[in-house]
Amino acid sequence: MFPFRVRSVRWEASVLAVLGLLGAFVAGAPAAAPSPRAAHVRAVTDVPGTPGSTTPLSAYAIRSTAEVPDAAALVSAPGYRTAGWHPAGSRSTVLAALVADGTHPDPFHSTDQQRIPAADFAVPWWFRAEFTVADTGARTYLDFSGVVSAADVFVNGEQVATASAVAGAYTHHELDVTALVRAGANAVAFRIKPNDPRKNLTMGWLDWLQPPPDQNMGIVRDVLVRRGGPVALRDAHVVTSLALPSLASADLTVKAKVRNETAEAVTAAVSGTIGSGITFRRDVPLRAHETKTVAFTPADTPQLRLERPRVWWPAGMGAQELYELDLSVAVPGAGPSDRTRHGFGVRSVRAPLNKDGARQYSVNGKPLLIRGAGWSPDELLRWDAAYTEDRLAYARDLGLNTLRLEGHLEHDEFFDLADRYGILTLPGWQCCTKWEGAVNGTEAGEGWTAADHPVARASMAAEAARLRDHPSVISFLIGSDFAPNAEIEKGYVDALEAADWPTPVIPAASAKSAPLTGASGMRMPGPYEWVPPGYWYDKREGGATGFNSETSAGPDIPTLDTLRRMMSPAELTSLWKDPAAPQYHRSPSRTYSTLKVYDDALSGRYGPPTGLEDYVAKAQLAQYENVRAQYEAYARNATDASKPSTGVIYWMFNSGWTSLHWQLVDRYLDQNGAYFGAKKANEPLHVQYSYDDRTVAVVNRRTAPVSGLTARVSLFNTDGTRKYDRTVTGLDVGGDGARTTALTVPASVDGLSTTYLARLVLTDADGREVSRNVYWLSTRRDVLDYTESNWYITPTTAYADLTGLRSMARASVSATATTSTGTGTGAGTGAGTGTGAGTGVGAPATSTTVVTVTNTGTGNTPALLTDLHLVDGKDAPVLPVRWSDNQISLWPGESATLTATYRTADLHGSAPRIRISGWNTPTATVPAA
């Protein structure tokens, strides 16, 4: 990660103390620290005088205005006593701080969030901090965004901005407070207004999760104290133009604004470097208080034409090469005046509409199928860099190449990590709130007033300037469910053009259009609720054609370990016994308040659950097959001549809290059937079965073609008796997502039981197994009623019969495991997965456990969906962990060797163990030291 900001030692110490309070949030546990209401809460940041330094305020003292009778001039004066106030981190909502200091219970467990009174957040709250400067020779600015929802701002007893000016979570503000700053202690206070996403251009949670009672009011991005000299340097960025298709050269244009802050004319010397080999400089005359845009182009600076540039590629397509721009300005006689540094990448993104009107992305001239999922931040908007990197490493482990951010546009560090991991991002504004209130008819979100338009334009300008140089960002979606009207769209487009926005602008994530940006090329037909695996293969509704921007089969039931952490015993009983019971951990939406559709399908296909463990086991089977089918169908259809699939966003990748739906990975980073179904479907070289036409295909996501492959397809009754077996040799498949069909399974096979198993094995030219895929299928198919489809579901009128799985004999499985510990290779599970990803000096040590699993049975019965969990001495899962494969199915005599990589410290001093379980495998635990 590039060193964007200079932080003082005192800031580091302060933030470590705050993170000590917040550290429990990943586990969802309440903080152990008692409420310090009787203590004086200190929030002081040392700010250097170095021109170009940007120092975040390290922490705040916060309190409800209902409890603070003093005037703003007193509250914002240096030395004001904050006894009885609450400590808050540098990026914090009100509720995040109150949970961290023990004032309120853990909102992630059971229904404890309902115990937090929403009335406490119906009035403004003070966020107060102090900073010290040794001298006032440098100019001083407050630089910030991320205020939810609006704030009056005060410095040293004086108001410097009103809430009407500081409105909107994404608007950027720079307040020159030089005249107010004094040597020594200085105070800044924000009086934060309550948030209502229906009324404010901020952030909301829609139907994703139970929204926090404070609606995320607070300051959720850094407030920077910026120091500078007589000339300010702003808006620095790099416009890249890559030669296609050769990639042989790239033209760079470096732009920035220089601003004379004095009342006299000056000549500013602007100089810069890119990497270690490119330097440039120019003198810029400026009149008093003049601002000029400076541009260095290959025409006047030939070294900005790169020959054989280091090109940035998405994960799986090449290396994630990054450059760094270092730009500074100086004034003769006054020395350095300002400086900025940040990374950028050289790559090209295009996304024209294909002949069917679908958006088709290409990067560096190579078309790619978008295989993505929807990203969610923490419900309380708490930031944890390691936790974020862990999730991005999981996304890469799953074979995903894209994450969609609908609102909740994350911190700079998120996009830095996405750049390093090669994960493409699709940021955009949020539906069903104020953002679409002017165009969404009767849905949530109030209509716009004249005051909303400048806030929206300023939000777009600020986010465009922040995101444009990140190579991972491949579009901006200015609409989600609805496209903006002409006036709103023009405000957005003008702001994007002014910022030199380099990638396609999409009018909506749904099948809408707008006057300037045209048709979206995307669609949003659902589903969001359970449908059977075969649904995904039809080229209608949400099936595999075009670009589906958000879709899944709804619920994703976590593992037993996670369920027992997040729900009470009574809730767990209700979970499996009562399909019609409202589930607090599903959604606040009445559409999704219960699990009835999902539970009816689970019972109809697999048989009624007999207990919690049986319910969860069936859920893992159902989620594995469904998620796998969704990604496999889109992969199979990507190269079709007619109506090909071009992109799919699984809704969602993760949840911001402890959830029962819309997640490939749960809150605690545990991995269930949904996770491993996605991982299997997205493996680089993959053999797969199609539910609609029974074809067996090989999909190759590697860049190079592969030849000499052999595919073997076997069908078995549930007792393990083989009823069909065919081998096809000499298969060749191209690269970059190409597909070849190996064979078609017969429509009828003599002696095949109603429930049966299909085993697909792909070997390379040397006979090595490169892909194995096992399906549980039925001669009785699921029946869909498309005439009753709506925006969230296509009903199923008859279920496939998978109840035969209940009669499978118990399988005997053994395992041996060994563990080795290495040096630090990364904070996340992405260690060693790509250029620059997961590496760093002082990174935590990692361990690797190698497990060999064998079906030791003497009969024919396979061990179906055998799950391995790495656990510590207390039988608690060690998370995060990256498995080479998991939830595997083995026939008698077969073995598989799997690896698990994880942070050694997450064992908490105990020896590692492997817990083995499966559909028809008794649970056992073996040592792995």
Burial class (CB in 10 A: 0-12, 13-18, 19+), 445: buried
To the nearest 10°, the Cα dihedral for 558, 316, 423, 517? Answer: -120
Please choose, from the candidates 124, 221, 139, the residue with its C-alpha nearest in 3D space to the C-alpha of residue 172. 221
Cα 59 from Cα 606, distance rounded (Å): 53
Whether 219 contacts 127, CB under 8 Å: yes
Cα 419 from Cα 472, distance rounded (Å): 5
- Structure tokens given for 678: 């996605």
Q: Residue 481 catalytic?
A: yes
The residues with which 291 forms a beta bridge, in sequence order, are: 259
Provide Rg for the chain, Cα atoms. Answer: 28
Cα 688 from Cα 702, distance rounded (Å): 16
- Give the H or E element holding residue 256: strand 249-260
Cα 682 from Cα 369, distance rounded (Å): 11
Rounded to a whole number, what is the largest CA-CA distance in the chain? Answer: 94
Cα 754 from Cα 773, distance rounded (Å): 20
Query: Which positions ≥6 away from 641 have C-beta within 8 Å?
Result: none
Please choose, from the candidates 220, 222, 186, the residue with its C-alpha nearest in 3D space to the C-alpha of residue 49. 186
- Give the H or E element holding residue 270: strand 266-274
Cα 185 from Cα 131, distance rounded (Å): 6
Catalytically annotated residue among 214, 406, 489, 550: 550
Which residue type, as a one-letter code, is found at position 312? W
Burial class (CB in 10 A: 0-12, 13-18, 19+), 12: exposed
- Structure tokens given for 98: 């109150």
Cα angle, residue 67 at apex, residues 62 and 69 outer, rounded to 5°: 105
Whether 497 contacts 478, CB under 8 Å: no
Cα 147 from Cα 221, distance rounded (Å): 8
The residues with which 426 forms a beta bridge, in sequence order, are: 404
Query: Which positions ≥6 away from 14 have C-beta within 8 Å?
Result: 43, 44, 45, 58, 59
Whether 721 contacts 860, CB under 8 Å: yes
- Structure tokens given for 809: 């004999």
Q: Residue 736 catalytic?
A: no
Cα 104 from Cα 85, distance rounded (Å): 14
25 alpha carbon, distance to own chain's centre: 17
Please choose, from the candidates 544, 522, 523, the residue with its C-alpha nearest in 3D space to the C-alpha of residue 533. 544
Catalytically annotated residue among 481, 529, 632, 683: 481
Whether 144 contacts 223, CB under 8 Å: yes
To the nearest 10°, the Cα dihedral for 235, 320, 883, 897? Answer: -170
Please choose, from the candidates 287, 165, 284, the residue with its C-alpha nearest in 3D space to the C-alpha of residue 233. 284
Cα 348 from Cα 471, distance rounded (Å): 9
Whether 382 contacts 92, CB under 8 Å: yes
Angstrom CA distances, 916 to 474, 560, 738, 867, stand at: 41, 14, 36, 6
Strand boundaries in 139-246, DSSP class E:
139-144, 147-148, 151-155, 158-161, 173-176, 184-192, 218-219, 223-228, 231-242
Q: Which residue has the tokens 């079906």?
A: 855
Q: Name the strands in the sheet holding 218-219, side by side, starting at the edge strand that comes first in the sequence.
A: 92-93, 218-219, 147-148
Residues annotated catalytic, as ranges = 481, 550
